[in-house]
A = this chain, B = another copy of it.
């Protein structure tokens, strides 16, 4: 009993004023049911972060995440904040957490932010990457972080299609049906398609290719499944089923049915955030 009392007093001394810490989180989403905590008991990134923080700091902690990535989607730099009475230096937080986190989640950075900083209520530029492995057979070492297709994609056509997406548009055609959102207008700053083995019209069209194709997109924000629907639509362009010029009409349609399919989650990685200001 006395021991218990001493411990409590010691803890009180160690505690400081409430502070908000912003962490950058990388994860392999393969074995998680997405970022967001679920009541079903399914394992999520948020759930593991909450449990680990609560254990490490010995106080009940719940993070607020910037992006609720879907099941199987990866991140190099998702953001989350949490509040703590601990006096730990923010820069030491990654070391403290990484010792206890499973190896498919890593905290790469920690910094103190004002208590009213909210990662979903500030102006940001968000960047995603969609990786495609385009080869006759999948490569085991790429299977977890790329979407594999043997259909030879015309990268040059995909590149020509990107221009139509740039700027501020109503992206209702690129939002999963039934999503509740005040507006489907979003701004895309950049959309590129790159490959380590570009299509060359002088090459034998029957010759197999073994290449990575990376779609990279930056914007002010994204609708539900928007990046995966853009990737799925660009792949339809690469297969010759949609012409680059048709993208303008697809956007104009404001109809999910007009766009291509939602590309599978394993190819998608949330690359990171640039915080540009408070909303």
Contacts and interface: CB of A to CB of B under 8 A. Distances in A.
Contact of A26 (B76, B106, B139, B145): B139
Copies in the complex: 2
Contacts of A26: 139-141
A200 to B, nearest CB: 23
Nearest to A25: B140
Contacts of A61: none
A108 interface: yes
B98 A140 contact: no
A224 interface: no
A152 to B, nearest CB: 16
Contacts of A138: 103, 106
A147 to B, nearest CB: 13
A104 interface: yes
A98 B140 CA distance: 11
A91 to B, nearest CB: 11
Chain A interface bracket (under 10, 10 to 19, 20 to 34, 35 or more): 20 to 34
A44 to B, nearest CB: 15
A30 to B, nearest CB: 9
A45 B105 CA distance: 28
A80 to B, nearest CB: 15
Interface string A15-29: 000000000001110
A74 interface: yes
A137 B104 contact: no
Contact of A105 (B136, B140, B269): B140
Q: Give 10 nearest A-B pairs by CB, closest first.
A: A28-B140, A104-B140, A106-B137, A27-B140, A108-B137, A28-B141, A103-B143, A141-B145, A26-B140, A26-B139
Given A106-B137, A108-B137, A141-B269, 10 more contacts: A26-B141, A28-B140, A28-B141, A74-B141, A103-B140, A104-B140, A105-B140, A106-B138, A106-B140, A108-B136
